[in-house]
Amino acid sequence: MGAAEWLMVLGASIFILVLAVSAYWEADIRWLHFFQAWMYAATLALGLRRNRWGYFIGMSAAGLWDYANIFATSFFWNGLQQVPLWIHTGQLARPDLLIAVPAWFSNLLVIIGCAWGYSRLEEKRASDAAEFLVCFALTTGFFAADMAIFQPRYLGLFPRMLHPHLPF
């Protein structure tokens, strides 16, 4: 297993752990996070076999999550604000917000690992760009369906992702 695969495994594993901890803290998002974790499991199952679809799923799922948390929500920014407060006071007032920081960076590791893994594939096809777009649409659709079924209150993220802004 090369460095790209290690980044993918490390990032996906940390993010799945973050999803589990978050679901433990907040019972009403358990099913949402359970099914969201399957996108990362699929990334690992396929990506570790050097299958382009695993790389495409990983870049899509992690990319969408990181993008949304920079431009459509304040979750990551609020988590970052907890770091100096925690350092200054020694008290962690909002671990539910701080968890966004390792979640964001773990998704970044997935993106880098998948992009790096894909770049090392010997056989690239002209259709890969179209296949990536299809995969992005399907991954996003899966995530939206997961939200619609288990937490429709989060569907408002999608219009905000189409009209991005920095949420501070």
- pLDDT given at position 69: 94
**Minimal CA–CA distance to 34: which of 144, 158, 150?**
150
- pLDDT given at position 131: 97
118: which 2 tokens? 């894909």
- pLDDT given at position 13: 98
143: which 2 tokens? 């995530």
State pLDDT tens for residues 111-166. Answer: 999 999 999 999 999 999 999 999 999 999 999 999 999 999 999 999 999 887 76
The domain locations on the chain are 3-162
State pLDDT tens for residues 68-107. Answer: 999 999 899 999 999 988 989 988 889 899 999 999 999 9
Q: How confident is the model at residue 167 (pLDDT cuts 50, 70, 90)?
A: low
Q: What is the pTM of this model?
A: 0.93
Q: Is residue 168's pLDDT more than 90?
A: no
Asked if 11 and 109 touch (Cβ cutoff 8 Å), the reply is yes
**DSSP state letters, 49-117:** TT-HHHHHHHHHHHHHHHHHHHHT-SHHHHHHHHHHHHHHHS--S-HHHHTHHHHHHHHHHHHHHHHHH
105: which 2 tokens? 């960076």
